[in-house]
Amino acid sequence: MRITALFMLMAVAAGACAAPASSADWPAFHNGGGLRGVGAPVGAPPMKVRWTYFTDETEPAGIEGGAAIVGDTAYAGDGAGGLHAVDLKTGKARWVYKSENGFATTPLVLNGRVFIGDISGVFHCVSADKGEKVWAVDTQSPIKASSNALGERIVFGNDGAEIYCLDAKTGKELWKATAGDRVNATPAIVNGLALVSGCDAKLRGIDVQTGEEKFAADLGALAPGAPAVFEGGIVVGTDSGRVVCLSLDGQKQLWAYEEVDDKAMVYASPAVADGVVVVGARDRQVHGIDANTGKRLWAHKTRGDVESSAAVSAGRVYVGSRDKKLYVLDLKGGKPLWEFTAGRSILSSPAVGQGVVIFGDTDGSLFCLEPVQN
């Protein structure tokens, strides 16, 4: 199939990248698939704390990656190498799996197993029910990119500019591709292609079945965050204060948003819902951008850099900041609806699923929020 024809199919399929309507889970970074960051509906704010979980009672380790929510359990990794499974109702630990090195990524939960890479370069597969090691693969370079999946194929990158595809059941390497620099972002996966952004200022489209690179589009600057795929294109944030949207075949830049103050880095990954791109930046703002034109719709100021990747649910945006706050904003207009203050900076990306919002802070606290009126 020609690439252009393939991406015509992607355009149709891109709408299915958000959380399936029948599922209330959030099983991966930005809900996996095309990484739109859209979750099942959560009730309107105000919200209350259902529970707060500490990664350790005496020496808690910070949480930089997001949580995954599957069924009655939340999963999150910490900077000291603990992978935690937490009961969604009570906030009590179901189990804690220990790695020798810390986690800075969001777990992927698939078919009864949890997948996560650590900062030493080891990629772990753990049973979701008991927290027991199933297999581990040493990539020998730090893994700061969360993984995504197509069927039983797990895809992720590392600091060694390598992109791996592993068999979910066995950990067998199915293929390995090479980028020009570090890959710290989760690959978006749509219609058989893994879309990988990285510090080499490229967006690569790689066939998940074969590992063949289909295209490498120039982004103009390094891209620390992941791309998001929607019906109108592929959108990704970059250094130099830009958010760019490429055509679905990666061949054309459709628009570039350049209204980030002081050309500050767009470190976070964008979310896309209802024609709005939402992304935080190191200019201490959350930006709402028209997905079709790239024009600013709104910008909400915070008191800290916004490195947390926003989640969207039922017309509301949930996003953290280094100013310790989780903000809930109106998607269309950016109006502040509610906010919550954590103990330390919020770098993690909120997970929205099973009627709650879950996120961690750098003080080692994992918060579960629910609407006051359920």
Domain boundaries, the chain: 28-371
- Determine the 3-state secondary structure of 127 from DSSP: strand
- How many CB atoms are located within 10 Å of the residue 168 CB? 21
Residue 35 to residue 120: CA distance in whole angstroms: 25
Q: Residue 187: is the preceding peptide bond cis (ω within 30°)?
A: no
- Determine what percent of the chain falls in helix, strand and coil, rounding each to the nearest 5: 5, 45, 50
pTM over 0.85: yes
Q: Of 130, 132, 136, 194, which Cα lies nearest the Cα of 170? A: 136
Helices (H), the chain: 3-13
Residue 66 to residue 367: CA distance in whole angstroms: 11
Q: What is the mean pLDDT of each run of 10 residues along the chain (374 residues)?
A: 40 38 84 98 97 95 97 98 98 97 98 98 98 98 98 98 98 98 97 96 98 97 97 96 96 97 98 98 98 98 98 98 98 98 98 98 98 86
* Per-residue confidence (pLDDT) for residue 170, from 0 to 100: 98
* Per-residue confidence (pLDDT) for residue 4, from 0 to 100: 41
Residue 248 to residue 234: CA distance in whole angstroms: 6
Residue 227 to residue 363: CA distance in whole angstroms: 28
Chain-centroid distance of CA 9 in Å reads 24
* Per-residue confidence (pLDDT) for residue 21, from 0 to 100: 35
Q: Residue 46: is the preceding peptide bond cis (ω within 30°)?
A: yes
Distances (CA, A) of 14 to 110, 171, 218, 329: 21, 28, 22, 25
Residue 283 to residue 285: CA distance in whole angstroms: 6
Question: Assign residue 297 a region: left if phi > 0, alpha if psi is -120 to 50, beta otherwise?
Answer: alpha
Question: Assign residue 201 a region: left if phi > 0, alpha if psi is -120 to 50, beta otherwise?
Answer: left
CATH of the structural domain 28-371, one choice from 3.40.50.720, 1.20.1300.10, 3.40.50.20, 2.130.10.10: 2.130.10.10
* Per-residue confidence (pLDDT) for residue 176, from 0 to 100: 98
Residue 169 to residue 115: CA distance in whole angstroms: 11
